[in-house]
Structure 1
Amino acid sequence: MEELNLNDLSKIQEKAIDMAFQFGPVLLKAVILLLAGRFVIKMLIRLLTNALSKYEVDASLATFFKSFLSALLWVLLIISIATTLGMQMTSFIAILGAAGLAVGLALQGSLANFAGGVLILVFKPFRVGDTIEAQGTLGSVESIDILYTKIRNFDNKVVTIPNGALANNAITNFSLKPTRRVDMSVGVAYGTDLKKTRKVILDILNKDERVHEDPAPVVYFGNFGDSSLDLTIRCWTDAADLWPVYWDSMEAIKEAFEANDIEVPFPQRDVNHYYPEGKK
């Protein structure tokens, strides 16, 4: 029995050695191909990045191209490794097709995101660097990848949104036009001279070099409020100066009101108490 076991062990060892000599070089070749292919993919992506930067290709297209090329090269590398390991190309394509169908059904959302990314790059509702509002997020577009778009909001959080959702829903682009309208509103006390107030506000806006002369700034009386006469103020400026003009103008208007004795009222109520006849 012991001799039989030794013979079996010897046969197993011989078979293992034969398999090692048979499959070892192939496996080693596949590992070398994997390492070399990984290095080549990194080099090609780096060359593509430099080329896109050199020719000043739009940042949105550049990010998408790099993501797509990387995915394509890895698929080709996997096919090459499978072929090296002895898998027949026809069989591998059949398996890949069946797997692709199964994965396609399982990843319908991802395919929709890929199509959404293509639509975004074709129709360009926004670009990298634009300030947009979409899906409840307001911020600057950091990158457009093959499946997702990254938006950095103004408190430095990065929100990742699927491209399919962006391509099929409303998007507000704040950077598409070079100029923006600044909307402000102030309230003054009842009895205030509106012509004087309008002149004070327009003098402030006309002195600000950031405010455009055409269209000219305007001040309209808009509403009889509960405690104030409500004024609507509108002027135009460069998109980058929108909020600085708003903040500086509101502060300057407040100081000008104080200097010209224009009262900004606070909420108030008149309360009248009626007593029955003969009562104090």
Structure 2
Amino acid sequence: MDTTIGNMIAGVMIMTNEKVKLGDFVEFMGSLNLMGTIEEINIRYTVIRSFDKRRTIIPNSMVAATPIKTLKSEILIRGNVKLRFPRHIDVNQVKSLLIQILNSIDGVLHKEYTNIVVT
């Protein structure tokens, strides 16, 4: 009962002080270590949608107590992936195919900036 009341009080605080709002792209620091878009805020919990489309439901008492970074939706995401392929494979064809795959993802906003660097 105390937990439910705590979540409800935190929910009212979150909704009124606009620490986060629907559509914000956020990073929860600390033990949550979660990044995603605020999809829902209600009186008891907040829902985050991560890059891989998973929904995480977080009790509002945790949201209120956790440091949160609000990020721009145009954030640059960089990943390093090591791929090995035979020498006879055309590197430009591999780059072209990888760019097509990346640009087919809904979350890629500025497709003209997608880039692959081969070292």
Higher normalized helix content (fraction of residues):
1
What secondary structure is seen at the aligned counterpart in 1 of 2:7? Answer: helix
2:102 aligned partner: none
Q: 1:165 aligns to what? A: 62
Question: What does residue range 175-186 of structure 1 map to in structure 2 within 5 Å?
Answer: 175=72
SS of residue paired to 2:67: coil
Instruction: Give the counterpart letter for 2:54 in structure 1.
Output: K
Q: Comparing both chains, which one has the higher relative contact order based on Cα–Cα distances under 8 Å and sequence gaps of 6 or more?
A: 2
Q: What CA deviation, in whole Å up to 9, does each residue of 1:140-193 have, x standing for no partner?
A: 111101100111111111100011111111011113xx775x598xxxxxxxxx
Residue 18 of structure 2: which of 124, 132, 140 is its match?
124
- SS of the residue 1:151 aligns to: strand
Question: Percent same amino acid among aligned pairs?
Answer: 26
Instruction: Please give the residue correspondences for 1:240-251 in structure 2 after superposition, counting only pairs within 5 Å.
Output: 240-241=109-110, 245=113, 247-248=114-115, 250-251=116-117
- 2:88 match: none
* TM-score (normalizing by structure 2): 0.60
Q: 1:155 to 1:119 in 2, by over 3 A?
A: same
Distance 1:153 1:179, change over 3 A: closer
Aligned AA for 2:24? D
The whole-number CA distance in structure 1 between the counterparts of 2:33 and 2:65 is 14
Q: d(CA) in 1 for partners of 2:3 and 2:37?
A: 24
AA at the equivalent of 1:152: R
How many matched pairs?
Answer: 86
| Distance of aligned partners of 1:156 and 1:108 in 2 relative to their CA distance in 1, 3 Å threshold | same
Taking structure 1 as reference, are residues 114 and 183 closer, same or farther at Cα in structure 2, changes over 3 Å only? closer
Q: State the distance in 1 between where 2:15 and 2:41 align.
A: 9
Change (3 A) 1:114 1:157: same
Aligned match of 2:41 in 144, 165, 184?
Answer: 144
Instruction: Return the TM-score normalized by structure 1.
Output: 0.27
Name stretches of at least 5 consecutive residues in structure 1 with no aligned partner.
1-106, 185-239, 255-263, 265-280
Amino acid at match of 2:50: N
